[in-house]
Structure 1
Amino acid sequence: MVKMITNWYKEKFSDPNAVALIVILLSIFILFYFFNHILMPVFVALAVAFLLDKPVNRLVKFGLGRKLATTIIVALFVGIAMIAILGLMPIVWQQGSNLIQEAPNMISRSQEYLFALPEKYPELINVDQLQTLINLTKQKVLGWGEVVLEASLNSLSNIVALLVYLILVPLMVFFFLKDKKVLIAQVTRFLPKERRLASQVGDEMNQQILNYVRGKIIEIIIIGAASTLAFLFLDLRYSVLLGVLVGLSVLVPYVGAAIVTIPVVLVALFQFGFSAEFGYVMLSYGIIQALDGNLLVPLLFSEAVNLHPVTIIIAVIFFGGLWGFWGVFFAIPLATLVKAIINAWSTQVVEEVKAQ
């Protein structure tokens, strides 16, 4: 057993480049895991700078200076972000609060409907089962109400945190983009010299992550806007809130679409009942989901590495449990990173075997 472990260790870690790769990955993981709450504005700024780097480089190629190009791109980004925050978030918050307040009425109406079921299907449903289900639902609704109330009471601290993001993140993005080469040179001074495998993995992941994040943002905007417009056209209540939820659901492949279907169905059902209008809402929602899965996703992510659905779900659960929203957002790039590391390591072992 000891000999087997020793042979495995020599095979996998005999190359200094492999050891350097492990050290770099462990350092990054420890930094993210233990300091993610403190350094989250820095991580967000890095992610935004990573996305905006290509537009800045294009302006530089057109003859603009790096500083002027950075100023233009960051100003455009901040302007669009402010329009989204100031124009969209108040509506979403108001509709969310109204939905929570109306939830008890929805429960009462559903309770009347459910208690009529044992009379129609006595062999399948009994009153005790329904009462247990209703009690659990009431507990969940009360829990959501407490969350909304707590968020309202802590609104001042949330506003302060939002102001921190609105001020610090754009400033850091500006300096990350403007002084990109200087900052990269300073960071590489602390990295091991034998980092060929790390560079290989970084080069492989750079374009894939960029394509994924940019594609995911475009997908969120398109699906969210299309859902909102469809719900508004069909006069569905809470259309903006539900449209935003549908857009954000694409962050979690497979699972997100299944979860967000529940509020869409419930709101449409309580508003229209089993009518033609309810059917139109479900038809439009189904068409949007079908176009997303069969047209938009293949178009936006054609250059991304294909991962098995089980791998994606495991990555979402694992990284979401570690880092919350941002873990879910970057779950697929992180899973692709793990795959790239395994591929690079396997290639390294094969090359060493051939050299011997």
Structure 2
Amino acid sequence: MSHRHWVAASIRRIEADFNRSADTHLIPLSLPGYPDIDFYFKDESSHPTGSLKHRLARSLFLYALANGWLREGAPVIEASSGSTAVSEAYFARLLGLPFIAVIPASTSPEKIAAIEFQGGRCHLVERACDLDEASRQLARETGGHFMDQFTYAERATDWRANNNIAESIFKQMAAEPHPVPAWIVCSPGTGGTAATLGRYVRYRQHATDILCADPEISMFYDGYREALAGRPWRDLASTGGSRIEGIGRPRVEASFLPSCVDAMVKVPDALSLAAMREVSARLGRRVGGSTGTNFVGVLWAAQRMKQAGRAGAIVTILCDAGERYAHSYYDPAWYADSGIDVDDSDKMIAATCAGQPLPDLPWVAQATG
């Protein structure tokens, strides 16, 4: 089979897989402290690979195929904290390609098992800041392709339509009391979701603001703040890795576009995980830590709306299910080992859901408002 024919056949397989899949649910939630605000969770955990990253992986594979970067039998390599690797392993197996995930050594055993279940192989790296170089080295050694989600996430996604997450949200909101959300809240892992949401609401001329909630150990918030001040921001970096798997990065990734974001908050890990537990209790099922980070952003936006006497809707993303974190976020011993408070943060989130003020968080709002 020629390379062009193999590419065409591979794209058909991915499109057929998409046609077999239903859209993800939009789940409403009521909070007693905010009677004039409707809350919704876009449940991305219902994808075949269990997370928001399923959309990204599909887009990255189509982008790489259309660019001629993938070849029959050649490995696909990705730097990932877990969920993207699970989803990319799924698509690699669909195309009959070997897949190697370059992941932090601290990645939960549940995610490692999920990658291996999808046919992938895991290459562990001690420091999060070394993932990219290790991935490039593996690509050179194996003759494979480094997918590089952090560079290509924002450009691989068709942000105008094609059932991206933004279009899906607005279609599902069409019959709701407030069909155009006041806020959509997400958290940056690559920055690609924020770019897609921000571009779409501008393209469709919706009066919706995009709020990014960044975890405690991450450089996106710092990059956003520096960009708004007109200072250099692309090269900001640290050596620490986020404790909230799937989001947060030790550098400002190429897919993060500050101009597509209207406001940012920086969320302490203790509050993210308390919010995770609160959402899990209210929905009756476990969610992951990044959903908790998002929910703190939701509460921040809700308080601003309440203070302004504004009714409306807030939509956020349920990124993945909590079963992947049984050995971390749902294990009391993990909190003791990590030195993360539980009791006080749980009380704080519960009080905020009841309408009491959220403790001050570092935040910045775009100067153009």
The two structures have a TM-score, normalised by structure 1, of 0.28
Looking at secondary structure, tell me which structure has more strand per residue.
2
Q: Which has the higher contact order (CA 8 A, sep 6+)?
A: 1
The two structures have a TM-score, normalised by structure 2, of 0.27
- Rg larger in structure: 1
